[in-house]
Structure formats: structure tokens, C-alpha cells
Structure 1
Amino acid sequence: MDNLMKLKEQIEEYKAYNEQERRDKEEMLRHICESEHILTRDNKNAHFTVSAWIVNPDRQKVLMAYHNIYQSWAWLGGHADGNGDLRQVILKEIEEESGLKDIKFLSDHIFSLEILTVSGHEKRGEYVSSHLHLNVTYLLEADTELPVRIKEDENSQIGWINVNDIGKKSTEKWFVDRIYSKLCDKVCRTVK
């Protein structure tokens, strides 16, 4: 079975946490069935991305980066770029964006689903039109004492943010209200 079909099965098996996830799950499955090149940026309308919600052992801090394009503190992640094994992709992205290698998944399963709107922007001197990110999030854990570093072409700062300060640090209100607060709530309610 190819990676896209495995990803489809994982999304089908995922139990939505709220109405946003129920609706986004339906749309993701529709895109998988109806769209071509859904794992690559060749699909200019919508493609898969993956994000990491990285918590410390006591679940009071989250590793975030100050994102150069959005000028805001944000989670780590990236594009599938043809690889439907999003667990593999997120480990690569975490290492690229933060230097962090000693990290563990807190679950073998998807932690969250969301469809994210991306406004048109410049990237490496080229204009990227508005599109959708069909995003899968995984929950991971790392020690705050481990060294981290920035990835200059993507972020200018990286650090552990107290969960109570995410709303003060991130300037993306929609993400704070709809995504980051959901993830914090879900960690508190479902993770031991």
C-alpha cells in the first residue's frame, strides 16, 4: 500500500476532537480522493503539510519558532513534499528547523487535523499564491535543556514558550484562538 493510502487510512481512523476537526477531516478525505499531487506543492490549491506540537515533560511549555514569513511565533512543521509518511517528514522538519534530534512521539497516532489558509506571500524571491494546507499534527516531547538552533532562512528565534504565554507571543490570533488553544486543551484533557 502506498504512503498516500496509508495516510488516508490514518485520517479515516482519526477520531475528531471537535466540529472543526470533523469538517476538516471530511474535506481532507475529499481532497485525497479528488485531487492530484496532493502530497506535493505541484497542487497549487491544496497540499499536505505536517506540524509538531512539542511539549516538555511536564506539559507546561511548547517549542515554537519565530517564523520569518509570518513574523510570529508558531509551531514547527513543513510540507510533505511527496512523502506520505508524515511522521518521517515531521522528524526531518524538527531537526532542520531547530536542530533537535532527541525527541519522542507521545502517540503513534495523529494528534490533530486542521485545514489552514495560507495568504499569498513571497518566498525566496518568488510569489506564492494563496492556497490551503491540509495539515496533520503530531504530539511530541523533548527536554527543555537540549540545545536548539535557528534555521536562518525560515526562523529568527526558537524557544520554549509557557502554554499560558502563547497568546502573548503569537501574533496570529486565528491560530491562537482556533489551533494552539485547542492543542493545549487537548494535551490537558487527553495526555497523561
Structure 2
Amino acid sequence: MKRTDLIQQLKEFIPFNEQEEKDKQVFLRQLSIDNIFKRENEVGHFTASCWIVNQDYTKVLLAYHNIYQSYAWLGGHCDGDEDCLGVALKEAREESGLENIKVLSQEPISIETLVVNGHEKKGKYIPSHLHFNVTYLFQANDQERLHIKEDENSALAWFDCATFMSEVNEIWMKERIYQKLNGRIIQYFDEKWRGNLR
């Protein structure tokens, strides 16, 4: 997938709420910037995340993120790669050890501008910046063995979709993003179920 494909997907993306409506316009403007997929753009850059549900859609896989000290979704920087879906899939495999991951949607199910506070990483200070994040829906078997990525997370676990919020320490992510993702999942499977009846 190339930048032009992402632009087209975002143009066709139907916002779930006002946050996505505003961010959609921001993302489309940012995509005109040459180095918007690279960390060298210290104001902001594109990242890709994933929401991984289990085989019967009752659980979500979360990693305990070392920097944020909270359970969170999986994902990472594009680092010049314009294929955000490919980046999300690569990050999911690297951060979880899962080998068998099914892509449920080729298009983003969620978009969000995330504020990253300044922090140290590998002995280097990273200034505060923005992540223009696109999120994809994946599926995996909750019985498959998991492996942490020690430089990024210290635990991995499947949590019930209805109760996982208690494991999240980041209030903004909990209230603005993860609740939205739960709503998106319900919407996604409702549309898929209705489509199967046609």
C-alpha cells in the first residue's frame, strides 16, 4: 500500500465521532508533507496500531507498555514505510510473538491524533510530538503462545472486551480511544452480520 492508497482510504473513511471527523481533515493535510512517515519529523509523524480480538470476539490482546506504565494496544512507528497496514501487522507480530494473525479489515477502523509527552528512550531524549495514528482490526487465537518484546513491553494478556478498561492507566486513552474501539467492533460485526443476511 502506498501513500496514495491511504489518502483514498481516509477520504472514504466514515468518522465514528467528532474526534475522527476533525482528525480525518488533519491527517489528509499532513499527508502532503514529504517526511510525515518518518521520526525525523519531530513535530509529528504517522504510526499504525492494531486492535487484536480473539477467535470468538470476546477478548482483546493488550501489552503492558514500559514507557506509559499501562496496558495498551500494539503498534508502532512507520519509519518511512507508507504501508500502514503492513506496519501494524509487523508490529503486532514483533510485540506479541504471534505468528498467526488474521487481518479482519484492510481499511482503518479508527484514526486518532495522539499526544506523546517528552521522554527518554535508550538514553536519548525524545521531545513531545504528535502521532497521526491509524488503527486496524486483527484476530488471533488466544491459545497461541505469546512472547513479550522486552525493550517495549513487560507483559501480554488477553482481557475480556467488557472489563479490560480497569487494566488501563491512561485516562485519555481509556475514555477517548478504547471506548471508541469497543464501539467500532460492535459496529463492524453488526454490519458484517447484516451483510451476510443479504
Per the normalisation by structure 2, the TM-score is: 0.92
Please give the alpha-carbon distance, in whole angstroms, between the structure 1 residues aligned to 2:59 and 2:66: 22
Alignment of 1:1-192 (within 5 A): 3-33=2-32, 35-191=33-189, 192=193
Please give the alpha-carbon distance, in whole angstroms, between the structure 2 residues aligned to 1:81 and 1:175: 23
* Displacement of 1:152: 0.4
Please give the alpha-carbon distance, in whole angstroms, between the structure 1 residues aligned to 2:98 and 2:119: 28
* Displacement of 1:165: 2.4
Instruction: Letter of the 1:21 partner, please give it.
Output: E
Please give the alpha-carbon distance, in whole angstroms, between the structure 2 residues aligned to 1:166 and 1:172: 13
Partners of 1:36 and 1:43 within 8 A in 2? no
SS in 2 for 1:148: coil
Structure 1 residues 49-95: Cα deviation after superposition (integer angstroms, max 9, x where no partner) = 00000001222210010000000000000001111111111111111
Please give the alpha-carbon distance, in whole angstroms, between the structure 2 residues aligned to 1:59 and 1:12: 28
Partners of 1:49 and 1:79 within 8 A in 2? yes
Instruction: Letter of the 2:126 partner, please give it.
Output: V
Unaligned runs of 5+ residues in structure 2 are: 194-198
Query: Which stretch shows the higher mean deviation, 156-165 or 137-146?
Result: 156-165
Identity of aligned residues (%): 48
SS in 1 for 2:163: helix
Instruction: Letter of the 1:3 partner, please give it.
Output: K
Instruction: Letter of the 2:118 partner, please give it.
Output: G
Instruction: Letter of the 1:190 partner, please give it.
Output: Y
* Displacement of 1:11: 1.3
Structure 1 residues 99-149: Cα deviation after superposition (integer angstroms, max 9, x where no partner) = 112011111211111110101111111110110000000001111001111
Query: Which stretch shows the higher mean deviation, 156-165 or 172-181?
Result: 156-165
Please give the alpha-carbon distance, in whole angstroms, between the structure 1 residues aligned to 2:45 and 2:77: 8
Q: Which runs of 4+ in 1 moved over 4 A?
A: none
* Displacement of 1:178: 0.5
